[in-house]
Chains A and B, each alone.
Chain A
Amino acid sequence: MEGLLRVIDLGSVPFDAAMRVQKECLSEALGRPGTHSIIFCSHQPVITCGTAHRASDILADYQTLKEMNINVRQVDRGGGVSYHGPGQITVYPVFNLACMTKDIGWFIRRLEECVAVFLSRFGVDSARKEGFPGVWTGSRKICSIGVGFSKWVSFHGLSVNIRKEDMRAYSLIRPCGMDIKMACLEEESPQAEAHDYAGMISVLLQSFINVFWPRGIQTEEIKKCL
């Protein structure tokens, strides 16, 4: 066993509240090497713009977004424009790479592997695409990745599309600045409907532990009052 992984499940939460929790975890990780956090949540609808975004990648106008109650946030992660909504699971791994491997590509490839392992539990084959970070089922993207680092502690992370009723919102943007179709687990796997949010979080957490800490890590569940 090496280190401590604090597990935080925020449930359905506004994006700004999850950002505050991430920044708290980031401060703690910088002060206590060996302590990592992983935050699970689903967001109320929001479009986030990473450091590589172009304004033209948001296809809907301001009035449409306002009527749909979708906020837009500029964020300090890599990548372009992304959508987050209630039909996704979003994961924010706040991991101290100074205690692991100081390698950005290594970290992103492992995030992709975590999602591939998660999807395989539902019988879904997925792959990564060289030069296009994320996880793909055929030509469609099922998981978007965008991260930030402060002194080799990661923040932001990934979102996996789960429920199909939330997929229409992707027509409002060019995800990651590309003209691509997005996939979701429910469309790819008949097994998905039998699992609720809590069950999926449990599978995802185990995937992260298996990939990042194959020898195991002590975990601690943390409750957060928002």
Chain B
Amino acid sequence: MLIEVKVPYLGAGIEKARVTFIYCRPGEAIAKDADLIELTADKAAFNIPSPCSGKIIESKVSCGDTLNVGETVCFIEQSF
């Protein structure tokens, strides 16, 4: 099953965040809860964890990109 990972709700008034580090790239395997990317907004850095174990099929972001809340980060082919 293909899982779409989106930028989650970060708090009231925070609509955008900048990608400051990418931990995992397309083709790589990833475990549930492992970090996918690091975002920075409002003097805070935070990692987006993977919602499932699997393999990253497609990434939609590059380092330095500014993402909106709800925007797609990547697609993961879930493994069981």
Contact residues of B between 1 and 59, Cβ < 8 Å to A: 9-14, 18, 20-21, 33, 38, 40-47, 49
Q: What secondary structure prevails in chain B residues at the interface with A? A: strand
How many inter-chain residue pairs (CB < 8 Å) link A and B? 69
User: Measured between C-beta atoms, what is the minimum distance from B19 to chain A in Å?
Assistant: 10
Give the complex CA separation of A149 and B38 in angstroms.
Answer: 10
Chain A residues within an 8 Å CB radius of B18: 52
Chain A residues within an 8 Å CB radius of B11: 102-107
B49→A108 contact, CB < 8 A: no
User: Measured between C-beta atoms, what is the minimum distance from B23 to chain A in Å?
Assistant: 12
B47→A78 contact, CB < 8 A: no
Q: How large is the interface on B (under 10, 10 to 19, 20 to 34, 35 or more residues)?
A: 20 to 34
User: Measured between C-beta atoms, what is the minimum distance from B38 to chain A in Å?
Assistant: 7
A76 contacts chain B at the CB level, 8 A cutoff: yes
B49→A104 contact, CB < 8 A: no
Chain B residues within an 8 Å CB radius of A108: 42-44
Q: How many residues of A contact B (CB 8 A)?
A: 23
Chain B residues within an 8 Å CB radius of A106: 11-12
User: Measured between C-beta atoms, what is the minimum distance from A78 to chain B in Å?
Assistant: 4
A52→B12 contact, CB < 8 A: no
User: Measured between C-beta atoms, what is the minimum distance from B55 to chain A in Å?
Assistant: 22
Known: A105-B13, A149-B44. A76 touches B38 (CB 8 A): yes
Q: A103-B12, A105-B42, A148-B45 are known contacts; what are 20 more A-B pairs with Cβ within 8 Å?
A: A51-B40, A51-B45, A52-B18, A77-B43, A78-B42, A78-B45, A79-B43, A102-B11, A104-B14, A104-B41, A105-B12, A105-B13, A106-B12, A107-B11, A146-B43, A149-B44, A149-B45, A150-B46, A151-B33, A151-B49
Q: Which 8 A-B pairs have the closest CB atoms?
A: A103-B11, A149-B46, A51-B20, A133-B43, A105-B11, A78-B44, A104-B11, A78-B43
Binding site for A on B (CB under 8 A): 9-14, 18, 20-21, 33, 38, 40-47, 49
Binding site for B on A (CB under 8 A): 50-52, 76-79, 102-108, 133-134, 145-151
